[in-house]
Amino acid sequence: MLAFLPIIGPIIQGIVSIFTKMQDTKVEVLKTERGTEVEEAKVSAQIIQTTQDDIGLRLMRDIMIFPVVVWTFLLCWDTIIAESTYKDWMWHLASFEKTGAPYLPYAVIVFLLGNIGINMWNRK
């Protein structure tokens, strides 16, 4: 645009081209990042699809997770709601400190991630 100016035109044109190349580089980096995210999402969807009909895995998952969910719900009910307002509706479960309850969600997460890892290993 300003190339017709004798000295200033090429300088301005060079500066503008540097900025456009920097923007093009940023766009390419974003494209590659999005491509890897799409590939990771495809792999995750494939793992879910593979384990969807596995009866043994579903049964193990339910046996492992359902009691933890019910127990945590009842413990939270006793701790948050029943102690303050509905004392007759308490289940009288042991407190978090006495039972080691903070470690149970971690056990469930390790179980689920372990199953995903085993399925990925078997797919090799």
**Same domain, residue pair 26 and 46:** yes
Domains identified in the chain, total number: 2
What was the pLDDT predicted at 5?
A: 64
98 pLDDT exceeds 80? no
Q: What are 1-50's pLDDT values in tens digits?
A: 555 666 777 777 777 778 888 888 888 888 888 888 888 888 878 877 77
**Same domain, residue pair 69 and 99:** yes
C-alpha–C-alpha distance, residues 2 and 76, integer Å: 70
- Mean pLDDT within 74-83: 79
Q: Chain-wide mean pLDDT for the chain?
A: 77
What was the pLDDT predicted at 1?
A: 53
Q: Which domain holds residue 22?
A: 1-52
Give the residue, 96 or 92, on which the prediction is more confident: 92
**Same domain, residue pair 38 and 11:** yes
**Same domain, residue pair 3 and 22:** yes
Q: Which of 12, 36, 52 marks a domain boundary?
A: 52
Q: Give the rounded distance of the alpha carbon of 65 from its chain centre.
A: 18
What was the pLDDT predicted at 4?
A: 62
What single string gives the DSSP state of each residue in 13-56? HHHHHHHHHHHHHHHHHHHHHHHHHHHHHHHHHHHHHHHTT-HH
**Same domain, residue pair 60 and 99:** yes
**Same domain, residue pair 13 and 58:** no
**Same domain, residue pair 44 and 80:** no
117 pLDDT exceeds 60? yes
**Same domain, residue pair 64 and 13:** no
What was the pLDDT predicted at 33?
A: 82
86 pLDDT exceeds 80? no
pTM greater than 0.75 (yes/no): no
50 class by beta-carbon count within 10 Å (0-12 exposed, 13-18 middle, 19+ buried): middle
Contact yes or no for 48/54 (Cβ under 8 A): no
